[in-house]
Amino acid sequence: MADLSVIEWAYVCVVVFIGGLARGFSGFGFSALCVSGLSLLLSPAQVIPPIFILEILASLTLLRQALKEADFSWLSWLLLGNVICIPLGIAMLNFVPEIYLRLLIGMVLVVLVGVQLRGLQWHGSPTRLFRLLTGLVAGLVNGLTAMGGLVVAAMMSATPLPAIAMRATLVLLFFFGDLYALLCAALMPVSAEVGAPLLGWSALTMALFMAVPMALGMAAGQRFFTHTTPQQFRRLVLRLLMLLAVITVGRSLLQLVGSAV
């Protein structure tokens, strides 16, 4: 696993717990919170494969109910877009320099969270092309930053799709999309950043370590559901994401300036 101090590992646990809190309550936000928070300490190539594993474990607990409630007219096009574009994102993750990935992660978060906070409006029924484009963009972002769920959530929340169907569709998309992403990561060459395959023992052991705070966070998030409205908690998560995005962008820009001097 990554060579971190005790304080840094404590920070990892806190970030993963907060991500689990968001996932347990709202159904999404775990990857975005963890990637943006943990990228302050670790490279994206170290963070994203364990996050894929944890997302799959989180989805397993909701899989049976999601199969009954999902909107498969959305899911089919989203999965097609993910199948096409996730390998491209994984390949970029493996070969693009770390500093540029961190900057891109932060910028993607700023745009996506800003859109959701302002309230994206879609007039009329979404077309097949709209759904496919959403899947293509989400697949690329998911392979590169493990935050593709935010793309889908932003677009779906602006349509008339019922909340229950939206949540169930996201659960299935995360499950199948992350399984596919893990397969792509396993087949990729050794990463120049970490000197090891993207999906190896290091990723598996880190995911096992982070599974405990994630499970605790998800349990707490489900309990908070009875005391807080989904709208209130969702806005809290989005504001936290925006803060982490600004920190990530600011740190990357400072590193770029420092390297240019």
Dump pLDDT digits (tens) for 159-180: 777 777 887 898 898 888 878 8
Residue of 73, 152, 159 whose CA lies nearest to 121: 159
Q: How far is residue 178's CA from residue 21's CA, in Å, rounded to a whole number?
A: 20
119 pLDDT higher than 80: no
Q: How far is residue 91's CA from residue 80's CA, in Å, rounded to a whole number?
A: 18
Dump pLDDT digits (tens) for 224-257: 777 777 667 667 767 777 877 787 788 778 878 8
Which residues neighbour 243 within 8 Å (Cβ) at sequence distance 6 or greater? none
Q: How far is residue 182's CA from residue 48's CA, in Å, rounded to a whole number?
A: 10
92 pLDDT higher than 90: no
The pTM of this model reads 0.72
Evaluate whether 120 touches 155 at the Cβ level (below 8 Å): yes
